[in-house]
Amino acid sequence: MTASAKSGLAERARQALLVRLSEPRVWDVVVIGGGATGLGCAVDAAARGYSVLVVDAEDFAKGTSSRATKLIHGGVRYLAQGNLPLVREALAERARLLENAPHLVHPLRFVVPAYRLHDKPMLAAGLGLYDLLAGRRGIARSKVLNVDDTLAALVTVKRDGLRGGIAYWDAQFDDARLALTLARTVGDFGGLAVNYCAATGLAIEGGKVCGVDLRDVESGQAYRVGARVVINASGVWADSVRRLARADAHDMLSPSQGVHLVVDRAFLPGEDALLVPHTDDGRVLFMIPWQGKVLLGTTDSPRSDLPLEPRPLPGEIDFILETAARYLERPPSRADVRAVFVGLRPLIGGGRDSPTRQLSREHLVDVSAEGLVSVTGGKWTTYRVMAEDAIDAAQPVGGLPQRSSATARLRLHGAPEKSDGDVYGLDRKDVLRLPGADNILAEGLTLTEAEVRYAARAEFARTVEDVLARRHRALFFDAEAAVRAAPAVAAILAEELGRAPDWAAAEVDRFRALAAQYQVGP
């Protein structure tokens, strides 16, 4: 059957999801929020045998969960703060993710250049403790490097005053693809994951939450779904959802934002990442090979507003570039930035005026008097533990049968026995069956026509942004290249979704306007 004969196939898949949403039933668990935490909660609940619905007002991982530093790590910064329990937990979860999602998570070596006499012994001691906390689940032991070894690993690092370095191991991942994989895993267990479906209110009877009012963002169709327990996993917007249950609920979060810049690989060729252990604001800065480019970040700035598309605050871009310039022989400038993206962190407590670098990266599960279970804080590395804790807390609230979490050894959707680096994993064979598997849509990208069709049919993609920002990461690593691909992507989506040509033109215009926000001016 030709592609044209299948026109609108992806739209029919969407309608099938909405039909399930309208069924008269009470779900065991309804999760509000389709980022790392919400999708993790849905997977955990579904794997325990509960009926599960997870919804998001936007695309899955539209917010914080697609805007991370792309690291699965124990947190060398938390090690320096003495938070050993958090480091130990994160290192254990790192090992689980390497096993359960090998197509999306892989080891990455970091090199910390040393310029002061005491740097190497201090770093060696700290990273030796990091190895010790990882135990048998470690990737490889840290290693002291001489000057020649450091230059071999980081060929563009500043040579003046270099005394060598320390190499250690963590892991890298594709955050948006992992979120999609979790959504697919929910479906594998019979659960329902629906993006572009907004929670507009909570149903409360007898003082207890018993359901959620929903609205399909595209059609405006309203739904009320019953739930034995509702989980609020809406990230930086969690306080707003808590106020749907109790209007006077106090704020639990003090959000901050982190900015990331992407530059060409020539600024740091090779396979190793570079860690700057101390920045002027008391953080660390990463320079990481990613998507054939180099990712630089991040910052930590308090943010009182919560825009869906946050922009860098004054000075943040220059701060990253100036810090990188201290460590690279040829420092990047604003003109070298291929893309800039910003994520908001749902940090717990502390008040709006507290320095966010001092706030907890640990998570909190809160059960309100109305029975709304809110899970906040945390980071991608520990999403599974957060989900386990949330579902443990949800069981008595919803009167659910007591069952233990089954996710510690759960291999996620598409996970191969051994990965070749393909983010599709076992699904690649399904992609290759679609039309246009060899048709690359824009110079400088690997995105094919078949991958766009697959994104629409199997991966919930509804817009050009969904494809170019989260199914393929072009917007995040080369905004100009993403713009070049937008017309072809829009034309394919129009066919898959059964849209008119004017829809495609409007989509391209919307995407161009969005992409301008990911580009850095002079």
Mind listing the pLDDT tens digit for each residue in 418-456? 999 999 999 999 999 999 999 999 999 999 999 999 999
Whether 441 and 506 share a structural domain: yes
Give the tens place of pLDDT for each residue, 92-126: 999 999 999 999 999 999 999 999 989 999 999 99
The answer to whether residues 490 and 429 belong to one domain is yes
Please state, in angstroms and as integers, the Cα–Cα distance from residue 187 to each residue in 53, 125, 192, 371, 427, following that order: 10, 45, 6, 26, 14
Q: What are phi and psi of 477, to 5 degrees?
A: -120, -15
431 shares its domain with 479 = yes
Does 272 lie in the same domain as 241? no
Q: Are strands 164-173 and 197-205 parallel, antiparallel or unpaired?
A: unpaired
Based on the domain organization, do 290 and 432 belong to the same domain? Answer: no
Domain extent, residue 314, equals 256-345
* pLDDT number for residue 334: 97
- Whether residue 2 is predicted with pLDDT greater than 90 in this model: the reply is no
194-219 confidence digits (pLDDT tens): 999 999 999 999 999 999 999 999 99
Residue 113 is assigned to a structural domain of this protein? no
Do 185 and 46 lie in a common domain?
yes
The per-residue pLDDT for 353 is 43
Is the distance from CB of 329 to CB of 157 less than 8 angstroms? yes
Choose one of 302, 319, 345: the last residue of a domain: 345
Does residue 143 form part of some domain?
A: no
Residues 247 and 265 in one domain: no
Of 345, 373, 406, which closes a domain? 345
Are both 374 and 243 inside the same structural domain? Answer: yes
229 within a domain of the structure (yes/no): yes
User: Based on the domain organization, do 438 and 469 belong to the same domain?
Assistant: yes
Q: Rounded to a whole number, what is the distance in angstroms from the first to the last CA of the chain?
A: 50
Mean pLDDT computed over every residue of the chain: 94
Query: Is residue 474's pLDDT more than 70?
Result: yes
3-state helix, strand, coil in the chain (%, to 5): 40, 25, 40
Domain-located, residue 404: no
Q: Could you tell me if 279 and 328 lie in one domain?
A: yes
**CA separation for the pair 500, 190 (Å, rounded):** 33
- CATH number of the domain where residue 205 is located: 3.50.50.60
User: Above 60 in pLDDT, residue 356?
Assistant: no
Rounded CA gap, 263 and 237, in Å?
31
351 has pLDDT over 60: no
Grade residue 5 by pLDDT with cuts at 50, 70 and 90: very low
Residue 333 resides in a domain: yes
Say whether both 440 and 470 belong to one domain: yes
Give the CATH number of the domain where residue 299 resides.
Answer: 3.30.9.10
Distance between CA atoms of 27 and 5, rounded to whole angstroms? 36
pLDDT tens digit string along 305-335?
A: 999 999 999 999 999 999 999 999 999 999 9
With respect to residue 158, please indicate whether it lies within any of the assigned structural domains.
no
Q: How many domains does the chain have?
A: 3
Place of tokens 């800065």: 285
| Exposed e or buried b per residue across 85-112, where buried means at least 16 C-beta atoms within 10 angstroms of its C-beta | ebbbbbbbbbbbbbebbbbbbbebbbbb
Q: What pLDDT is attached to residue 83?
A: 86
* CATH for 440: 1.10.8.870
The pLDDT value recorded for residue 358 is: 45
Return the ∠ at Cα 393 (arms to 257 and 349), rounded to 5°: 30
Examine residue 163 and state whether it is found in any structural domain, yes or no.
no
Q: What is the pLDDT at residue 349? A: 79
Q: Which residues make Cβ contacts (< 8 Å) with residue 300, sequence separation at least 6?
A: 256, 257, 258, 281, 283, 345, 356, 357
* Distance (Å, whole) CA 455 – CA 472: 9
Q: Which of 345, 369, 384 is the last residue of a domain?
A: 345
Give the CA-trace dihedral at 146, 147, 151, 152, to 10 degrees: -40
pLDDT of residue 6: 54
Q: What pLDDT score does 7 carry?
A: 61
- Tell whether 334 and 470 lie within a shared domain: no
Q: What does the pLDDT read at residue 361? A: 53
What pLDDT, on the 0 to 100 scale, is given for residue 4? 42
Work out the pLDDT band at 355, boundaries 50, 70, 90.
Answer: very low
- In the predicted structure, residue 366 carries a pLDDT above the cut 70: yes
Percent with pLDDT over 90 in the chain: 91
The answer as to whether 164 is a domain residue is: no
Rounded Cα distance, 247 and 360, in Å: 25
